[in-house]
Amino acid sequence: MTTTNKPRRKVFVTAGCNTISMGSGRKEFHPKKPRPGLEDYIQEAGRAVLKRIGGAKNVDEGVIGNFMAGRFNSQGNLAALIPSIDEGLMFKPCTRVEGACCSGGLALISGIKSVLAETAETVLCVGVEVQNTVKALYGADILATAGWSRERKAGHAYFFPGKFSDRAGAYFAKYGRERTRKAMARWYRGAVENARLCPTAQEYHNSVKDLEAQALVEPNPRSFVEHLNVFDCSKVSDGASAIAIVSEEGLKAAGIPKNEAVEVVSWGQVEADLTRPPDDLTRLETTRRAAEQALMSAGITVNDLATVETHDCFTIAGILAAEALGLAAPGEGPDFVLDGHTARGGRIPFNTTGGLIGWGHPTGATGVHQAVTLLEQLTGKAGASQIELSPKRPYGLSINMGGDDKTVVAVVYRKG
């Protein structure tokens, strides 16, 4: 296990911004009415960051995370959309990165490494996806390209719901179905309740009274998948998130005090073989390794974390992440959730603005959105979604996953 992912130069994130996560559930959303496009979201998020850091003159380079604009929007070469944010970004180096749903996390790592390499003092990091351009079944096929192409041919029509349905089914068989389903419903409830506190969240307008009862609707394999219902799944989302990755010099140039930034303490970046199925469907092994690498590099344990932003693309993934972090033993993740430990007032609040299920999952933006959420929480600027922070636990952790636990980036942040 490497322990070298600890910056030798101080790196911070600051001035984060999220657009609305647009899709079904938002009052403004209508599938047949015109909506913002890819460049609109990029410009909205990017301009908000520039306004907070003193303008484009303070940016040395840009990086954008995106998964499938080529299929959803017939648009490639996204790096060249960064200068559309501001004339002052013209002719500055920009890069587009892709790693399925971990594209945003990889964009963060790319920007962090540029600051560490001293090729930049300030990097504008953007994540974006616009997915409501095709019908859900076609979108599922596009998103399936995050899996192995040969496996896709034999996979479920709803490929990734099918994959995580298989994980849920394996977990039911090994550890019991009833309490696991209850914990999945509790996870859904927590996600939506947190989203109701965040005006940009896709589930912000959700007014269902008994969320757990809704989430316990029995799966229908004839119309969807065997072990998950639609409430177990993150929704199709459009949106962008942006953040500035800066050195101490970058902070000074922007005129931003350290208490309005959070320090990047360490990270874990782990890749698994796309062509190999998981050894154990009831474990997120790549997630476990990435988080372990990040925590070890930071010199802390999971008990030092104030909050976690994890990749709950499906409710079962949230439970498996709690186990991957070592917060619960294998098979005990449902109890950890049902006991309220992941709730906003619990032992370690997860996904305080709703996560992928509540806030939304514009795939290329998710990793950046997680960073923005942790920035807001650790600086006390999360508004209605703010949790109470203990000075004894000044750290936050983000976990961004691509594919079926294949590409994972975990980042540890510390309050400035």
Distance CA 368, CA 353 (A): 13
Least confident piece of the model among 55-59, 75-79, 304-308, 389-393: 389-393
- CA trace torsion 135, 311, 231, 200 (10° rounding): -70
Active site residues: 101, 361
In tens, the pLDDT along 334-386 reads 999 999 999 999 999 999 999 999 999 999 999 999 999 999 999 999 999 99
Per-residue pLDDT band for 154 (boundaries 50, 70, 90) equals confident
Mean pLDDT of 286-292: 98
Quick one: pLDDT band at residue 1, thresholds 50, 70, 90? very low
Structure pTM?
0.97
Helix (H) or strand (E) holding 346: none
pLDDT, tens digit, for every residue of 84-129? 999 999 999 999 999 999 999 999 999 999 999 999 999 999 999 9
Percent of the chain residues topping a pLDDT of 90? 94
> What type of residue is 319?
I
User: Do residues 65 and 104 lie in contact, with contact meaning Cβ atoms separated by under 8 Å?
Assistant: yes
Strand partners, 97: 65
pLDDT at 241: 98
Residues 173-192 pLDDT 10s? 999 999 999 999 999 999 99
User: For position 4, what pLDDT does the model report?
Assistant: 61
pLDDT reading at 388 higher than 80: yes
The DSSP call for residue 237 is: -
E-strand stretches of 247-371: 261-271, 305-309
Exposure string (b/e) for 373-383, b if CB count within 10 Å is 16 or more? bbbbbbbeebe
Domains of the chain listed by start with CATH number? 1-416 (3.40.47.10)
Residue 223 has pLDDT above 80, yes or no: yes
Neighbours of 355 (CB within 10 A): 31
Q: Above 60 in pLDDT, residue 2?
A: no
